[in-house]
């Protein structure tokens, strides 16, 4: 019985953790095509998507694209609801030299654009999808040739 419990526990740990590439708990992450991040715990998901990530990366040659996660209902003038993405404010085309330089301006409710041409120096403020609150971020490097984006981020008080 003890062996069975150990085997089942090992299976559950592997199954639950299989999606995550790593949780460094820090405020810097490097993402590649298909990966996403949950800002509250710094977890990088190997299969990032709108359900498990605050932001996730896709490659659209010759650029990298960042898309906010989440399904936020938006009410149309006729009363119908459609699903949109999490609120995010991108600072492009303005570029910054550090995270500290990115303004703390919160995104407008209902804003949901993806950033289809991520560049080094861009900043953002996003309403988190995986937890409550907001996160400010800065793109240290965006390299379409390697498919990597390195970003720094910090929680904002809303």
DSSP output for the chain:
-HHHHHHHHHHHHHHHHTTEEEE--SSEEEEETT-EEETTTTEEETT--TTT-SEEEEEETTEEEEEE---EEEE-TTS-EEEEPPPEEE-TT---SSGGGS--PPPPTT----BSS--TT-EEEEE-SSSSSEEEEEEEEEETTTTEEEEEEEEE--
Of 17-21, 52-56, 93-97, the poorest mean pLDDT is in 17-21
Grade residue 158 by pLDDT with cuts at 50, 70 and 90. low
Q: How long is the chain? A: 158
- Enumerate the domain spans of the chain: 22-156
Q: Tokens representing 48?
A: 């990032």
Grade residue 157 by pLDDT with cuts at 50, 70 and 90. confident
Q: What is the pLDDT of residue 27?
A: 93
pLDDT at 6 over 50: no
Determine the longest span between alpha carbons in the chain, in angstroms.
62
- Report, as an integer, the average pLDDT of 19-47: 86
Closest CA to 65 of 20, 143, 117, 108: 117
Grade residue 9 by pLDDT with cuts at 50, 70 and 90. very low
- Report, as an integer, the average pLDDT of 57-63: 84
Grade residue 143 by pLDDT with cuts at 50, 70 and 90. very high
Single pTM value for the model: 0.77
CA angle (54, 117, 157) in 5-degree steps: 35
Mean pLDDT of the chain: 79
């Amino acid at each position: 019985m003890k062996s069975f419990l150990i085997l089942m526990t090992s299976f559950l740990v592997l199954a639950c953790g299989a999606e995550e590439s790593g949780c460094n708990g820090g405020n810097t992450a490097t993402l590649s095509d298909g990966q996403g991040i949950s800002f509250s715990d710094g977890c990088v998901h190997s299969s990032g998507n709108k359900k498990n990530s605050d932001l996730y990366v896709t490659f659209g040659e010759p650029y990298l694209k960042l898309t906010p996660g989440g399904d936020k209902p938006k009410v149309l003038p006729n009363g119908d609801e459609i699903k949109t993405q999490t609120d995010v404010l991108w600072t492009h085309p303005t570029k910054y030299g550090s995270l500290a330089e990115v303004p703390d301006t919160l995104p407008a409710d209902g804003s949901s654009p993806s950033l289809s041409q991520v560049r080094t120096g861009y900043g953002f403020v996003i309403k988190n999808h995986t937890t409550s609150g907001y996160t400010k971020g800065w793109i240290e490097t965006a390299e379409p040739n390697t498919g990597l984006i390195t970003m720094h981020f910090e929680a904002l008080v809303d």
